[in-house]
Amino acid sequence: MSEAGSLIRSLSGRLAARNFHSYVINDIGVGIVSGRFPIGSILPNDAAMMSEYGVSRTVLREALKTLEAKGLVEARPKVGTRVLPRNRWNLFDAQVLSWHFEAEPDRHFIASLFDTRLALELRAADLAARHRNSDHIRLLKYWAHQMEMSFDAVEPFALAELEFHRTIAEASANPFLRSIGGMVELAVTLTIAADAGADHGRSRRVAAYEAHHRLALAIEASDPDAACNEISGIIRSALAAALPGPPAA
């Protein structure tokens, strides 16, 4: 399982330590998502992969079982391990989403990601405004303040933004909405990666903080309409930063 914030931290090269098992999973996962192992193809046999990765059969088999559980591959007797179609992949899995970032997702994937994020976070903001408690408000204001303190530090800003949205999901009291952290993290990472070196990057982060501050106040005021309006603007602005140029088809 990917730790929350690990994808954002990878932007600065601070990767979590990986054992042989996780290394094999990640390398094959990125290979599948990027097309190095094409859909419908059969992965190399156990002997070849054990030699390539320098791991035992047990480590390799456990890695392939993990990939099978995520819907990327399917093992069949006398056939081998086949790469499954994209419609079988679990795109709500944080690790699968992180592999898409490493494989540089196309415009349609990014637009679809933000479209789904908008639908789910609109509901999360609405519910958060109805069910939040004092601890949620304290955390929202804390993370908004951390964003305000990090206009010139991309990674801390992005981590604070992620935690802000995770707090909204928690405040929604909906266990399914609490499970969208991987999707939100990928969206935040794409946005931050796109504007990290841009001239307007700092001004975008300032505007993002201001919108998050207003969102925290709307949730504190138990105003679902205002909360939904603010989060809609936040996500649409983030999409514009992550996907500059003509709208996706």
Q: Do residues 130 and 224 make contact, with C-beta atoms less than 8 angstroms apart?
A: yes
Looking at domain 106-242, does it have CATH number 1.20.120.530? yes
Residue with tokens 């690990």: 6
pLDDT for position 146: 98
Amino acid identity of residue 11, one-letter, is L
Collect all residues with Cβ–Cβ distance below 8 Å to 64 and sequence separation of at least 6.
28, 43, 73, 75, 81
Q: Residue ranges per domain, the chain?
A: 6-88, 106-242
The length of the chain, given as a count of residues: 249
Q: Do residues 50 and 56 make contact, with C-beta atoms less than 8 angstroms apart?
A: yes
pLDDT for position 1: 44
Residue with tokens 């931290």: 9
**What stretches in the chain show pLDDT beneath 70?**
1-2, 13-18, 197-198, 244-249
User: What confidence tens digit (pLDDT) does each residue in 179-191 have?
Assistant: 999 999 999 999 9
pLDDT for position 249: 45
- Written as one string, the DSSP assignment of 36-66 is SS-TTPBPPPHHHHHHHHT--HHHHHHHHHH
pLDDT for position 197: 66
Q: What is the pTM of this model?
A: 0.89
pLDDT for position 15: 54
Looking at domain 6-88, does it have CATH number 1.10.10.10? yes
pLDDT for position 244: 67
User: Which of 237, 231, 243 is CA-nearest to residue 127?
Assistant: 231
